[in-house]
């Protein structure tokens, strides 16, 4: 088991209110799996992703990545027993891709894609060469010296994918990375991300409220209820769909039946 989440709950406290975003969520993800967190707006998907990224401390429960405890935080004594501490290697092991590309406008594409390597102190001639090769692989060879404003939205998201993969993270967290794109660019980028992650055997978690996208991209889908977010159902995508790249999966005869059953389940959840 690569990612293990056990009885995780999270409440946001403000001066006047307490909002329970997640309630007793338990799930696991295998190495190399692509899973989606699907659910209506406000069901806690981004909160869960931020907890897995180590950015938010959950109120309750535990998260382990590749056998290393992330939450709850270990005691100082337990951390000291691990070489280099427990949380920093985990944070480096996680790559985040968001709806907005967050490329720095004053840096060139090359500088942007090498940023993570620079920050983590892992920029070497080899890692730089790998990042530039990946840029070329995904069709952006030749734009290294361009600034983000000189690229289209789809090209910028591709550059953001390279920046995310450049540090060779063990786990990729994708928070609606396709939702700001037009339909054609979105379908092309889904295809590219799926193929790239397959090729590099990455484990990935995609947050989306798009049922079709979740079916086309995933091995399994975790469906969450509206607030407070609870895991209500896990859908295993049938082999004939999950072995197809996303565009072919969308054309497959098994696709619409699965879409309808997830749609019905989501409708029922939202009408409660
Ligand atoms: N910093 C915060 N302080 C207080 N409440 C918050 C905070 N962040 C999120 N929430 C609340 O927690 C709940 C879950 O939010 P979250 O963003 O995780 O949901 P989501 O499923 O990702 O939604 P969406 O699909 O709209 O992005 C929502 O009710 C939201 O209003």
Parallel, antiparallel or unpaired: strands 171-175 and 231-236: unpaired
| Residue 47 Cα to ligand 1 middle (Å) | 6
Confidence at residue 242, expressed as pLDDT on a 0 to 100 scale: 93
Q: How far apart are CA 268 and CA 272, in angstroms?
A: 7
Which atom belonging to ligand 1 lies closest to the Cα atom of 224?
21
Going residue by residue through the chain, which has 272 residues, state the pLDDT in tens, using 9 for 90 and above: 999 999 999 999 988 999 999 999 999 999 999 999 999 888 999 999 999 999 999 999 999 999 989 999 876 666 656 554 444 555 558 898 888 888 999 999 999 999 989 988 999 999 999 999 999 988 899 999 999 999 999 899 999 999 998 998 989 999 998 888 889 988 988 998 899 899 989 999 999 989 999 999 999 999 999 888 999 999 999 999 999 999 999 999 999 999 999 999 999 887 76
Could you tell me the distance, in angstroms and rounded to a whole number, from the CA of residue 26 to the centre of ligand 1? Answer: 19
Please, are residues 96 and 160 in contact by the beta-carbon 8 Å criterion? Answer: no
What is the per-residue burial (b if ≥16 Cβ within 10 Å, else e) of 120-151? eeebeeebbebbbebbeebebeebbeebbeeb
Q: Closest residue (by CA) to atom 1 of ligand 1? A: 12
Residue nearest to atom 25 of ligand 1 (CA): 41
pLDDT score recorded for residue 185: 86
Q: Using most ligand atoms within 8 A of CB, pick from 46, 49, 174, 209 the residue to mutate for ligand 1.
A: 46
- Give the integer Cα–Cα distance in Å for 127 and 131: 6
Gap from CA of 42 to ligand 1 centroid (Å): 5
Q: What is the CA radius of gyration of the chain?
A: 19
Task: Supply the pLDDT for residue 78.
Answer: 65
pLDDT of residue 87: 45
Which phi and psi (to 5°) does residue 112 adopt?
-65, -45
Q: Are 53 and 94 in contact (CB under 8 A)?
A: yes
Question: Whose Cα sits closest to atom 17 in ligand 1?
Answer: 46
> How far, in Å, CA of 199 to CA of 41, rounded?
32
Cα 99 → chain centroid: 11
Name the DSSP class of 38: E
Shortest CA distance to 195 belongs to which of 221, 169, 175, 165? 165
**Choice from 25, 42, 210 to test ligand 1 binding pocket (greatest atom count within 8 A of CB):** 42
Q: Does CATH place domain 3-270 in 3.40.50.300?
A: yes
Mutate to test the pocket of ligand 1, among 8, 11, 12, 179 (most ligand atoms within 8 A of CB): 12
Q: Which two tokens stand for residue 83?
A: 């070489």
Q: What is the ipTM of this complex?
A: 0.97
CA of 78 from ligand 1 middle (Å) equals 32
Q: Could you tell me where the DSSP H helices lie in 54-114?
A: 76-81, 87-93, 109-113
Show the tokens assigned to 254.
């098994």
* Residue 76: other Cβ atoms inside 10 A: 9
């Amino acid at each position: 088991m690569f990612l293990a989440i056990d009885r995780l709950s999270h409440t946001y406290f403000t001066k006047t209110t307490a909002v329970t975003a997640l309630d007793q969520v338990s799930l696991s993800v295998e190495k190399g799996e692509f899973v989606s967190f699907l659910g209506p707006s406000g069901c806690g998907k981004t909160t869960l992703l931020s907890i897995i990224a180590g950015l938010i401390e959950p109120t309750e429960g535990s998260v382990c990545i590749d056998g290393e405890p992330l939450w709850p935080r270990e005691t100082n004594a337990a951390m000291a027993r691990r070489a280099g501490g427990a949380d920093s290697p985990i944070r480096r092991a996680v790559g985040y891709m968001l709806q907005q590309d967050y490329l720095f406008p004053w840096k060139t594409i090359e500088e942007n894609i090498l940023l993570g390597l620079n920050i983590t102190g892992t920029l070497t001639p080899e890692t730089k060469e790998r990042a530039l090769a990946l840029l070329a692989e995904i069709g952006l060879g030749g734009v290294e010296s361009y600034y983000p404003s000189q690229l289209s939205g789809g090209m910028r998201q591709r550059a953001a994918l390279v920046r995310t993969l450049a540090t060779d993270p063990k786990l990729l967290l994708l928070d609606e990375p396709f939702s700001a794109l037009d339909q054609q660019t979105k379908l092309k980028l889904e295809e590219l991300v799926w193929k790239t992650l397959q090729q590099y055997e990455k484990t990935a978690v995609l947050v989306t409220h798009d049922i079709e996208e979740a079916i086309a991209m995933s091995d399994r889908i975790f469906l969450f209820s509206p607030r407070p977010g609870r895991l209500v159902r896990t859908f295993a995508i049938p082999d004939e769909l999950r072995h197809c790249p996303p565009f072919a999966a969308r054309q497959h005869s098994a696709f619409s039946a699965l879409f309808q059953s997830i749609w019905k389940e989501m409708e029922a959840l939202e009408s409660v």
